[in-house]
Structure 1
Amino acid sequence: MSLFEEHPLRQALNDEVHARPSVPLYGPTRISYLAFVHVNGSSDAEHHHLEQLAQQLGIALPPTGKGHVIIDAGDFRLKWERHNEFSSYTFYRDVAPAESEDTTALVTVPAAWRKAIPGQVLVATHLHVLDAKTHPPEARVAELKDPSQMCVVSRFAGNAGWMFSDFKIHDGFSRITVIDENLDRRQAGRNAQRLLEIETYRSMALLAFPVAKAISPLLTEAENELADLMDAMGRAETHEDERDILTRLTRLSATVEQSVARTTFRFGAAAAYHGLVKQRTAELREVRVPGFPNIADFIERRLAPALNTCAAIARRQEDLSARIARNSQLLRTRVDIELQQQNQGVLTQMNKRAKLQLRLQETVEGLSVVAITYYASQLVNYLSKGAKPLIKPLTPEVITAISIPVIALMVALGLRRMKKKIAAAEAHE
């Protein structure tokens, strides 16, 4: 390989394929998952916070530069991942014999450190992986026959596992129960990670919904104002009216474009997160349990309408921006035509004035020829008087009379030649 020039990103791109691996699960496991949204530079404090945990546990902190680490504290394992908008902390703890199902993976995590995690928590979930031999899934299904209780139940991974959850928040956490019938260790880890990612990406996608509801009144007001401006454009009679409408259109365009700039990322991110939710749901390979909704049904029934609203608001916003731009261009065209007509009138007046000036100039040129001829003939007269003995038998008066037409012709020809040179120079420029 030393013979080849290596691309500087080769190793990083190859490592990205192996990044963020799932954690294998060995038997019944308690998993507690926390996702914190980055606010006010909280992501910059995460490395230091993880260092504090490692110091308390008396272990070395693995490098965090790649955005993900796994810390084995003995009593629990922590998987930390940094994403674009949030960071996740997944705690794993093996279940002790005869342990209560109410215990979580956080019981052995230092409470003070846990409370000081930087950022704002958006997702908090307890996921319990149970053994089918000690927790028969059929018996749990039988307990959920009460129609007043809404619960999502599905089998996944080719009927190798069961999933139970109401996706509600109890004491600050949602709860998911996975019953392992025939999952291998890595398969259990991958599917547990998928369930947690579905919870996270669902919540991240829904961040766009309040934004959509907030800007909907603004768009309605802007659409009504645009309709009023179009009516006013049709009634405009003077150039001042059109200029006033154009000013209002420009102000409206700035307001809408400001809204577009503030919301484009959020709506685009919501669509991307929704795609990830559907991908992770498809990867579960769910099998429906009669009488209960599965994850795909529950998520799409509640997530799709909200995100369809976001998509509709985004399209409405872009359409409004385009309409304002088209109408502004139309009005500018009308204003430009008016200005061109005014300019045409000005140019016509200037042309008339130029012709008048040309006639005056020709008159002045004629007077100039007369004046120059007069003064030149006087010079000839003076010269003739001084040289009177030399010009006999001619008299100064005769010499002056003869010189007048010669001088006039020379002056006229000189002025004509000068005008031709000036015209040629202008044409060349």
Structure 2
Amino acid sequence: MLPNLLVTTLFQIPENHPQRFILHNEVHARASSILSLPVRASYLALSLSSDEKMQERRHLKALCERFGTAPPDLDADHFSASFDAFQMSWEQHGEFSTYSFYAYDIATEPFAAPALKKVPVDWLSQISGKVIVAAHASIVSAEEVNYQDEMDLSPLTTYFAGNPIVGSKVTGGAAAVFTDFRIHVDGFSRFLVVNQNLRTAQAGRLLHRLFDIEVYRVMALLAFPIARKLYPELKKADRQLYTITNSMTQPDNDDAKLLDELTALAAEVENHISTHQFRFAAASAYYQLVGQRLEDLREVRIQGIQTLGEFMKRRMEPAMHTCNSVSHRFTLVSERVSNASQLLRTKVDIIIERQNQGLLSSMALRAKMQLRMQQMVEGISMVAITYYAASLIGKIAEALHSLGWHVDAELVEGASIPFILVIIGISTKRIHKIIANTTE
């Protein structure tokens, strides 16, 4: 709180953002440990679920209470402390957590008494999660491992069970790093660091980078089995899409059926993408971190063996290219399915439009025929109305004749017909005009 107090009391500046100091101090988080030399280190990286992450914090608290050390905060994602016989650093990442243990007493051989032996066995066995990386590292002097000549690496192979080793000079020649990138009979991989002129801060950063390379390369390769598993699915989707698009060109195809098949294929492809896209994106990010950590080592070749960077590039690049290729090809298949669906829908829309045009033409013809029939019926109706009106007038004339009027009923009836026709015609036109004005 002192920096905040000084800023607000010495100068009248606006109120601080709530996260100003948290964000400012983030660059100092997860700092590498300051180590004494020589040192032995053990490293564990574990994948955890959300529930296991909460359990992990309680487990750390139990260790701190055991040795009378202040535990980390409940929301902390990194922690370092020194205990009676060892030093520990803990970091929690998005998908995994890491534990680094350091011990400083001198052992007869670099990996004979790893730092993990200093950790309470009962506490160690109850750590949450599943191990994805376990590694031992040891920083020793050249005399301790009989490393006198760069051209003779045979004394070092005994520490790696006779396996071929890779290595290089690092940190400007201050040290040489050797490993075989194999899991040994104890379940741990090994890094041997021969100290030439390492400072304590350099030693902490070097071990941190080596452990980062180990965990990030494994996390990056998590996508590789998925890529190999999805490759047959990708070929199947590609062939199915080809079959559908080829059927679209046939004149006698069932467009509705093809559209259903395209929809099902699109759903299947999108399901693969949504399910595995995170893993492929994470693999790419982890691989970039591996490359960055290798670059930070500032390797210089030792004659006769591969550098760590060369080994990683040769082994990991094909796997990463496979992952990127599968992810990219699934995206392309999704775009092609979308284009094919759009083309098919356009074709169906054109067919429907043509059918609608034919239907409208048929409806117009029927309406025209109905109009002609209606006009014919109107004509017949006019004749019928005239007949009945004239008959009515004739009956009236007969009645008047019976009353003594000198009226010729037949003559009156016949003479009324033209007048009746004219009146009916005028009335019909007026009705048509009223209907026309009403519809407009």
The answer to whether TM tops 0.5 is: yes
Q: Tell me what 2:31 maps to.
A: 21
CA distance in 2, matches of 1:376, 1:114: 117
Aligned counterpart in structure 1 of residue 349 of structure 2, from 332, 336, 342: 336
Q: Any idea what SS the aligned residue of 1:168 has?
A: coil
Deviation (angstroms), 1:215: 0.7
Letter in 1 for 2:68: G
Aligned CA distance change for structure 1 residues 367 and 86 (closer, same or farther; 3 Å): farther
1:406 Cα deviation after fit: 8.1
For 2:120, the equivalent position in structure 1 comes to 110
Give the SS at the match of 2:181.
strand
When residues 146 and 48 of structure 1 are mapped into structure 2, their CA distance, relative to the original with a 3 A threshold, is closer
- Asked if the contact 2:150–2:302 (Cα under 8 Å) also holds between the matched residues in 1, the reply is no
Matches of 1:277 and 1:367, distance apart in 2: 97
Structure 2 CA distance, aligned partners of 1:138 and 1:416?
Answer: 118
2:328 aligns with: 315
After TM superposition, give the deviation of residue 122 of structure 1 in Å: 0.4
Aligned to 2:428: 412
Give distance in 1, aligned partners of 2:391 and 2:72: 110
SS at match of 1:254: helix
CA contact (8 A) 1:370 1:408 kept: no
Structure-2 residue corresponding to 1:162:
176
User: Of residues 205, 211, 218 in structure 2, which corresponds to 1:203?
Assistant: 218
Once the two structures are overlaid, the 10-residue window that deviates more, 173-182 or 38-47, is 38-47
- Alignment partner, residue 351 of structure 1: 364
Task: Please name the residue that 1:256 is paired with.
Answer: 269
CA contact (8 A) 2:90 2:100 kept: yes
Deviation at 1:142, TM superposition (A): 2.4
Q: Which residue of 1 aligns with 2:198?
A: 183
Confirm or deny that 1:96 pairs with 2:133. Answer: no
**Are positions 1:301 and 2:311 aligned together?**
no
Residue 283 of structure 2: which of 270, 295, 298 is its match?
Answer: 270
Deviates more, 1:319-328 or 1:304-313: 319-328
Quote how far apart the aligned CAs of 1:59 are.
2.5
Deviation at 1:144, TM superposition (A): 2.5
Any gaps of 5 or more consecutive residues in structure 2? 1-7, 397-406
Query: Aligned residues, how many?
Result: 418
Counterpart residue identity of residue 160, structure 1 = A
Higher deviation after alignment, 33-42 or 117-126: 33-42
Which amino acid in the other structure matches residue 346 of structure 1?
A: L
Residue in structure 2 matched with residue 126 of structure 1 by the alignment = 136
Take 2:51 and 2:215, find their aligned partners in 1: how far apart are those partners? 20
Which residue of structure 2 aligns with residue 33 of structure 1?
A: 43
Judging changes above 3 Å, is the alpha-carbon distance between structure 1 residues 402 and 370 closer, same or farther for their aligned structure 2 residues? closer
Q: Report the CA distance shift for 1:153/1:349 in structure 2 as closer, same or farther (over 3 A).
A: same
Distance 2:354 2:46 in 1: 63
For 1:11, the equivalent position in structure 2 comes to 21
* Displacement of 1:423: 2.8
> In the aligned structure 2, how far is the partner of 1:246 from the partner of 1:344?
23
Report the counterpart of residue 423 of structure 1 in structure 2: 439
Q: Does 1:151 align with 2:161?
A: no
CA contact (8 A) 1:38 1:119 kept: yes
Letter in 2 for 1:339: I
* CA shift for structure 1 position 71: 2.7
Task: State the distance in 2 between where 1:183 and 1:371 align.
Answer: 123
- The answer to whether the 8 Å contact 2:38/2:106 transfers is no
Give 2:327's aligned amino acid: A
Structure 1 position 420, deviation (Å): 3.0
- What residue ranges of structure 1 are gaps of 5+ in the alignment? 384-393, 425-429
The percent identity for this pair of structures is 39
Q: 2:97 aligns with which of 87, 92, 104?
A: 87
CA distance change for structure 1 residues 371 and 76 in 2, over 3 Å: closer, same or farther?
A: farther
Cα distance, 1:368–1:168 mapped onto 2, change above 3 Å:
same
